[in-house]
Amino acid sequence: MLRSSLFALACIALAGCATHPATSSHSRLRGAELDARVRQLMQVANVPGLGVAVIENGRVVSVRAYGKRDVEKNLPLETNTTMYAASLTKAAFAYATMSLVDQGRLNLDASIATYLPKPLPDYDKYADLKGDPRWRQLTPAILLSHRSGFANFRFWQPGKDYDPNGKLQIYFDPGTRFAYSGEGINLLQFVLENGQNIDVATLMQQRLFTPFQMPRTSMTWRDDFAGNLAIGYDENGKALGHKHRESVRAAGSMDTTVSDYANLLAAMVRGDGLSDATHALWLKPVIRIHAVQQFPTMGMPDSNDNDAIGLGYALGVGTFQSPQGPVFFKEGHDDGTNNVAVCLEKQKDCVLLMSNSSNGEKIFGALIDDVLGATCYPLYWSNYIPYDHPEWRTEKPVINAHPACGVR
């Protein structure tokens, strides 16, 4: 118990972790205690709806929904309510892509030029890259691990305001550093579809949605979602609706439910559908991350704040070392949508949090540790500003890189 208490105290000292006392692995919240904690946090942070799934030893043991899916109509959020997955889509796409590696249909380290029938800049969508031969350095592994050199999206160029006519550029040599990029994930989708005639929607359905029991999950809008649908809300509680996405986008077009994605997350932590070697490869960190925050994608100063936890990225998910061993995680963020999935790899324990609110991430740090015990999750790097520390928005918190949070 002394060792667990020291880990918890270490995480409190590390401002990158939850600012609420982190529970040890021997005092995780479950049942009525967790229900009360969730409701209390939702109230103080003004979160209208939240889905919470708990996975232990690779099995879903609890899926609960709290609050409202539609405040105006006073409709409850349910475990089978359709919610926007946002960038949780990326982790799912990466996992499905690894099944192609298992089959020998995709070489992670091969140039994308080997798969495309013509040079990438010859396609209208990528004509901006004409004159920059570095596109040939791009590989599936580089794209999945956000080392492409692209901005997040071409219309958000570094240091500039949103520009719908922004041009695609490679800002650094591919493979040399981390910079989160939905553009890179969508490029891998383009390579699969145009270079190997693989329909990504079909791939996701066959490799994930059907075998892992995800009946209310789709890469595009389905009319049957309308009867039980989560409305998104901004930080002030303004209703933002729910977009009907008609195009498949590997970077984030998926609709799902907390129940469906919990089934997928359990399969992921178990390694279902992949060989042991490929599953280990999927989770192997390939780049260390030193940017002080994840967003904006470029232009943030480097920092040693997260060196103690070994923050890095694998092939579609983030990774770090917690007092309980290696962790993988993936966030999903959009206006009116905040999601996060966090898994302790060795224990195969996970928590999934899905909210229909821009305020959801304000309570994620507390709930991650309430469910999993001390994790030292990198809150500030993830741009998760706790509801009780709004000053983090304007000033970087003091972070103690305590050795206990880097235990190997």
Nearest Cα residue to 108 out of 134, 142, 146? 142
- What confidence tier does 404 reach under pLDDT thresholds 50, 70, 90? low
Domains and CATH numbers, the chain: 2-106+196-406 (3.40.710.10)
Segment 15-29 shows an average pLDDT of: 51
Segment 219-233 shows an average pLDDT of: 98
- What confidence tier does 194 reach under pLDDT thresholds 50, 70, 90? very high
How confident is the model at residue 406, as a pLDDT?
52
Q: Is the pLDDT of residue 407 over 80?
A: no
Could you tell me if 158 and 296 are in contact, meaning their C-beta atoms sit under 8 angstroms apart?
Answer: yes
Segment 207-233 shows an average pLDDT of: 98
Q: Is the pLDDT of residue 345 over 60?
A: yes
Q: Is the pLDDT of residue 191 over 80?
A: yes
Sorted by sequence, the CB contacts under 8 Å of residue 234 that are 6+ apart come out as: 240, 335, 336, 357, 358
At 379-398, the pLDDT tens digits run: 999 999 999 999 999 988 87
For residues 90 and 71, what is the distance between their CA atoms, to the nearest angstrom?
29
At 277-335, the pLDDT tens digits run: 999 999 999 999 999 999 999 988 899 999 999 999 999 999 999 999 999 999 999 99
**Which residues are bridge partners to 55 per DSSP?**
60, 350
Query: What does each C-alpha distance from 251 to 90, 184, 247, 328, 332 come to in angstroms?
Result: 5, 8, 11, 18, 10
At 53-111, the pLDDT tens digits run: 999 999 999 999 999 999 999 999 999 999 999 999 999 999 999 999 999 999 999 99
What's the CA angle centered on 274, arms 273 and 276, to 5 degrees? 135
Nearest Cα residue to 327 out of 402, 408, 248, 386? 408
Average pLDDT in the chain: 92
Segment 143-154 shows an average pLDDT of: 98
Could you tell me if 66 and 77 are in contact, meaning their C-beta atoms sit under 8 angstroms apart?
Answer: yes
Q: Is the pLDDT of residue 10 over 90?
A: no
How confident is the model at residue 405, as a pLDDT?
66
Segment 342-361 shows an average pLDDT of: 98
How confident is the model at residue 396, as a pLDDT?
85
24-38, 126-140, 151-165, 231-245: range with lowest mean pLDDT: 24-38
Nearest Cα residue to 330 out of 94, 84, 166, 171? 94
Q: Is the pLDDT of residue 12 over 90?
A: no
